[in-house]
């Protein structure tokens, strides 16, 4: 047993201290390709130390992984693996700079072109086709078949979605008499809606994720409203409802700007946080600033006998971002 | 041992001559030649970490209640996709590290491609015979942008959804076919059918990575066939003769060292620097959004463009032809990439230079190219900057509207100014060199004359 330990210790010592003698170029041997350079013992030791550090970090990574309930486990894991690679990088760079031979060699750039081969290629192609007598027709048939096959192979792609049918874009879940509810499904009472803030409302019992579903409720003083005649009957007791989806890029509008000092500051407006399209809430949702190219759709409101807010119809405009010919039709249930 | 292995392989593949040539393949030495390699190695990290993530990710959009370890979201209605990424972040050991490293690697990947492109452009490396290599590279940039966008859309957090809504609006705004195209991609009006996530998923983890790998292979093959360009550093480096380090032994540890450094930095970032904490954003609903939302850096130029375009749709009477998002979201990147694709041909046309080039030019050697490149770079960078105008408002209290109006002017003025100044600087540098050259010559003559006397 003791003899065994001695052997191990000896071989370990040999591994650390032992160094290879430099091979000499013997007579009769061919010339070197990689030029000869003196060894760099310090560089070797440094690279070995760095490789050892790298290995330690790798082991630490495994340990951090195995130990449960470590605080900051992600940081420890990332630190260990990151440092492992960094030490490896350092070792490799030391290897490159100090251990291996870094000789500059020269090469000719490849030939610019091969005129003879080019000619041969052309000749092969041309000679291969010279049995054809109806060259044009043959080509036409070839392209025709290829094109038709291509169209056929692409046809199943039409199953991806409806095409040439823009009907679904106009649909919204709103119809006359539908109640407006809040996020928990509770119907809004007109009396709940206060000035100076905004509320998000949904059609009762409908899918809220549809672009046409969500609306923003805002109460304005009756004399603040400057609606065009066509929209004059849309508000109910000064409460106005607009689609929550910006007509520019489809983000949800989630900013409401109200003047702190009405005489000098701009009037109340809804603002989209994506590209800051700003819609005037007093005049029916016209674009005041920002990239939106179309007014915000407005939903007509009514108040029922129990004081609940209900839709009095559908939006005056299609909801959501625009497309070619968007205003040809209006929103529909 | 080595001899036996080499003999074994050569006897079965006949590859020894090829290997011998490959080992002595020459790499000219300059730090800027490593930028493309950084992109390559970031891609390797992306594939490795992405594969790990794909073992856990689910692309379902069915609504479930979150019951994981993150208390603020417990009981919340989330999609399966979002839940699976929350689980990767909180429940899978090392999951958060890999996820954050993947995200950082994506940002570094595209940044490295971008800086590599700048190097190639401003040194004229794309000139004959390397136009194909260049076009493949630009195509990889386009594809990488799409890949990154799909990646952060798949998470289905609030920012994913807002980004998808904007992407939907841009597709919808494409003249004539936009609405149909959007229906095809999403399977119906936004937020689309459940299959939409499966479509994004197969693109993100299968089709596009393979496409990038194929483009990359072709790009590298062309680089190797034509050999590297080089600067005219020493006398020995000419249009005909390439000088540099051989692949083996000198270059191999250098390149592997670079790979290790890239991986090391990415894992350190992934472990120590938080990125995209999706649990803070929450799940997406079409009716929610957040203030101060910013995309990953490489899409910032599109946000900026969407914000800068004045608010009009292109309409004839009541008929909308081109909705607004088309200009910033589609036309702007199309113009920039068209410039990049056509530039080598344009330059050849206008300069009449159809020769082969293996030596690089410094930016000052081609003042016209440098001026135009700086102009386009300023244009896109300024639009990129404008995408952060709301942050400028918050940080420095500069009115958002005033900023946007100023930027709408500056975005056209600045590129011209910067282009003109760049041109001037290049010409001055050239003259300075000439003067210096003359001085040296005169001094040498004087010395010689004194020596003779």
Domain ranges, ordered by start, for chain B: 362-453
Specify the pLDDT at position A269.
95
**A319 and A328 Cβ atoms separated by less than 8 Å:** no
Is the pLDDT assigned to residue A22 strictly greater than 70? no
Structure tokens that stand for B216 in this block: 């990359």
What digits encode the pLDDT tens for the residues B69-114?
Answer: 999 999 999 999 999 999 999 999 999 999 999 999 999 999 999 9
Nearest to A164 among B180, B285, B315 (CB): B180
What digits encode the pLDDT tens for the residues A255-303?
Answer: 999 988 888 888 899 999 999 999 999 999 999 999 999 999 999 999 9
The rounded Cα A43 to chain-centroid distance in angstroms is 46
Spatial distance between the Cα atoms of A10 and B27, rounded to a whole number of angstroms:
44
Structure tokens that stand for A145 in this block: 């078949």
| Closest residue in chain B to residue A183, using alpha carbons only | B287
**A277 and A287 Cβ atoms separated by less than 8 Å:** yes
Cα atoms in the Cβ-side hemisphere of radius 13 Å centred on B424: 6
* Residue A79 distance to chain B (closest CA, Å): 5
**B138 and B339 Cβ atoms separated by less than 8 Å:** no
Specify the pLDDT at position B304.
95
DSSP-derived secondary structure letter, A234: S
| Closest residue in chain B to residue A254, using alpha carbons only | B289
Omega cis (within 30) before A88: no
Share of chain B above pLDDT 90, in %: 91
Angstrom CA distances, B298 to B36, B291, B305, stand at 17, 20, 13
Nearest to B241 among A75, A106, A164 (CB): A106
| DSSP characters over B9-58 | HHHHH--HHHHHHHHT-EE---GGGGHHHHHHHHHHHHHHHHHHHHTT--
Reported ipTM = 0.93
Nearest to A161 among B97, B186, B270 (CB): B186
What digits encode the pLDDT tens for the residues B122-144?
Answer: 999 999 999 999 999 999 999 99
Question: For residue B176, which residues of chain A lie inside 8 Å, CB to CB?
Answer: 324
Three-state SS at A120: helix
Specify the pLDDT at position A69.
81
Specify the pLDDT at position A58.
98
What digits encode the pLDDT tens for the residues A200-227?
Answer: 999 999 999 999 999 999 999 988 899 9
> Within chain A, how many helices (H) and strands (E) appear?
6, 12
Q: What is the mean pLDDT of residues A163-172?
A: 86
Q: How confident is the model at residue A32 (pLDDT cuts 50, 70, 90)?
A: confident
Locus of tokens 């006398």: B235
Give residues with Cβ within 8 angstroms of A20, minimum separation 6. Answer: none
Q: Right CATH number for A167-333 from 3.30.479.10, 2.102.10.10, 3.40.50.1820, 2.30.29.30? A: 2.102.10.10
Structure tokens that stand for B192 in this block: 């689309």
Three-state SS at B274: coil
- Interface contact B173-A171, CB threshold 8 A: no
What digits encode the pLDDT tens for the residues B30-55?
Answer: 999 999 999 999 999 999 999 999 99
- Interface contact B325-A323, CB threshold 8 A: no
B405 touches chain A (CB under 8 A): no
Longest pairwise C-alpha distance within chain A: 114
Spatial distance between the Cα atoms of B103 and B276, rounded to a whole number of angstroms:
8
Residue scoring higher pLDDT (B207 or A6): B207
Angstrom CA distances, B57 to A94, A138, A184, B296, stand at 40, 51, 30, 21
Share of chain A above pLDDT 70, in %: 96
Cβ count within 10 A of residue B338: 10
**Residues 70 to 89 of B: which have CB under 8 A from any A CB?**
none
Question: For residue A245, which residues of chain B lie inside 8 Å, CB to CB?
Answer: 286-287
Nearest to B307 among A103, A291, A325 (CB): A291
Specify the pLDDT at position A216.
97
**B145 and B155 Cβ atoms separated by less than 8 Å:** no
For chain A, what are the domain ranges? 39-101, 167-333
Q: How confident is the model at residue A60 (pLDDT cuts 50, 70, 90)?
A: very high
| Closest residue in chain B to residue A79, using alpha carbons only | B268
What digits encode the pLDDT tens for the residues B14-30?
Answer: 999 999 999 999 999 89
Specify the pLDDT at position A27.
58
Angstrom CA distances, B241 to A104, B236, B244, stand at 12, 7, 10
Specify the pLDDT at position B451.
82
Locus of tokens 């509810």: A181
A241 touches chain B (CB under 8 A): no
What digits encode the pLDDT tens for the residues A114-165?
Answer: 999 999 999 999 999 888 899 899 999 999 999 999 999 999 988 888 877 8
| A and B: number of Cβ contacts within 8 A | 299
Spatial distance between the Cα atoms of B449 and B446, rounded to a whole number of angstroms:
5
- The least confident of A5-14, A187-196, B188-197, B259-268 is A5-14
* Residue A163 distance to chain B (closest CA, Å): 5
DSSP-derived secondary structure letter, B359: B
- Interface contact B311-A273, CB threshold 8 A: no
């Amino acid at each position: 047993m003791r003899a065994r330990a001695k052997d191990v210790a000896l071989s370990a010592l040999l591994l650390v201290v032992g160094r290879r003698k430099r091979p000499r170029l013997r007579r009769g041997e061919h010339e070197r390709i990689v030029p000869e350079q003196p060894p760099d013992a310090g560089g070797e030791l440094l690279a070995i130390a760095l490789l050892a550090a790298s290995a330690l970090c790798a082991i630490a990574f495994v340990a951090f992984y195995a130990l449960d309930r470590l605080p900051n486990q992600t940081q420890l894991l990332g630190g260990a693996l990151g440092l492992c690679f960094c030490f490896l990088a350092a070792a490799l760079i030391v290897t490159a700079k100090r251990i291996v031979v870094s000789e500059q060699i020269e090469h000719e750039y490849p030939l610019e072109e091969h005129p003879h081969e080019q000619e041969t290629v052309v000749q092969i192609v041309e000679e291969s086709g010279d049995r054809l007598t109806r060259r044009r027709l043959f080509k036409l048939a070839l392209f025709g078949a290829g094109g038709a096959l291509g169209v056929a192979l692409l046809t199943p792609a039409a199953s991806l979605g409806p095409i040439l049918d823009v009907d679904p874009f106009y649909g919204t879940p709103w119809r006359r008499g539908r109640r407006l509810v809040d996020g928990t499904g509770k119907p809004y009472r007109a009396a709940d809606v206060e000035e100076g803030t905004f509320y998000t409302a949904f059609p009762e019992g409908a899918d809220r994720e549809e672009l046409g579903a969500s609306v923003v409720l805002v109460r304005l003083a009756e004399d603040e409203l400057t609606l065009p005649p066509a929209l004059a009957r849309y508000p109910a007791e000064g409460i106005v409802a607009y689609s929550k989806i910006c007509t520019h890029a489809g983000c949800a509008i989630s900013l409401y700007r109200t003047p702190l000092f009405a005489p000098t500051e701009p009037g109340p407006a809804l603002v989209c946080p994506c590209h800051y399209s700003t819609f005037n809430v007093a005049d029916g949702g016209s674009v005041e600033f920002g990239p939106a190219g179309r007014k915000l759709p407005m939903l007509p409101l009514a108040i029922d006998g129990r004081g609940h807010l209900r839709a009095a119809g559908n939006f005056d405009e299609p909801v959501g971002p625009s497309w070619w010919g968007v205003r040809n039709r209006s929103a529909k249930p | 041992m080595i001899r036996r292995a080499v003999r074994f392989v050569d006897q079965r593949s006949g590859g020894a001559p090829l290997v011998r040539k490959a080992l002595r393949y020459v790499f000219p030495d300059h730090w800027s030649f490593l930028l493309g390699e950084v992109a390559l190695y970031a891609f390797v990290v992306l594939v490795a970490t992405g594969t790990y993530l794909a073992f856990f990710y689910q692309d379902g959009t069915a609504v479930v209640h979150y019951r994981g370890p993150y208390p603020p979201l417990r009981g919340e209605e989330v999609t399966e996709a979002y839940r699976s990424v929350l689980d990767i972040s909180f429940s899978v050991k090392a999951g958060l590290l890999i996820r954050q490293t993947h995200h950082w690697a994506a940002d570094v990947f595209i940044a490295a491609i971008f800086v590599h492109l700048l190097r190639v452009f401003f040194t004229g490396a794309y000139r004959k015979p390397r136009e194909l290599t260049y076009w493949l590279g630009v195509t990889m940039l386009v594809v990488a942008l799409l890949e990154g966008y799909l990646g952060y859309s798949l998470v289905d957090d609030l920012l994913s959804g807002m980004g998808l809504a904007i992407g939907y609006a841009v597709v919808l705004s494409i003249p004539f076919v936009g609405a149909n195209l959007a229906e095809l991609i999403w399977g119906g009006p936004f937020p689309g059918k459940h299959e939409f996530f499966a479509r994004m998923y197969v693109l993100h983890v299968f089709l596009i990575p393979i496409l990038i790998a194929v483009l990359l292979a072709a790009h590298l093959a062309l680089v190797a066939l034509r050999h590297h360009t080089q600067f005219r550093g020493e006398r020995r480096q000419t249009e005909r003769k390439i000088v540099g380090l051989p692949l083996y032994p000198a270059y191999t540890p250098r390149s592997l060292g670079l790979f290790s450094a890239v991986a090391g930095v990415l894992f350190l970032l992934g472990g120590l620097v938080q990125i995209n904490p999706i649990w803070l954003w929450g799940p997406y609903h079409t009716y929610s959004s957040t203030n101060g939302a910013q995309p990953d850096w490489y899409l910032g130029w599109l946000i900026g463009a969407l914000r800068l375009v004045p608010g009009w749709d292109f309409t004839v009477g009541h008929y909308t032809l081109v909705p607004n998002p088309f200009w910033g979201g589609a036309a702007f990147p199309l113009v920039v990439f068209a410039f990049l694709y056509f530039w080598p041909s344009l330059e050849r046309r206008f300069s009449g230079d159809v020769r082969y080039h293996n030596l690089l030019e410094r930016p000052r050697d081609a003042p016209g190219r440098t001026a135009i490149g700086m102009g386009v770079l300023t244009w896109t960078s300024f639009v990129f900057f404008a995408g952060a105008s709301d942050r400028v408002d918050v940080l420095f209290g500069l009115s958002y509207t005033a900023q946007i109006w100023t930027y709408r002017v500056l975005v056209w003025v600045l590129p011209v100014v910067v282009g003109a100044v760049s041109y001037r600087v290049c010409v001055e540098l050239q003259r300075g060199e000439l003067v210096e050259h003359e001085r040296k010559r005169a001094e040498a003559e004087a010395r010689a004359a004194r020596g003779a006397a």
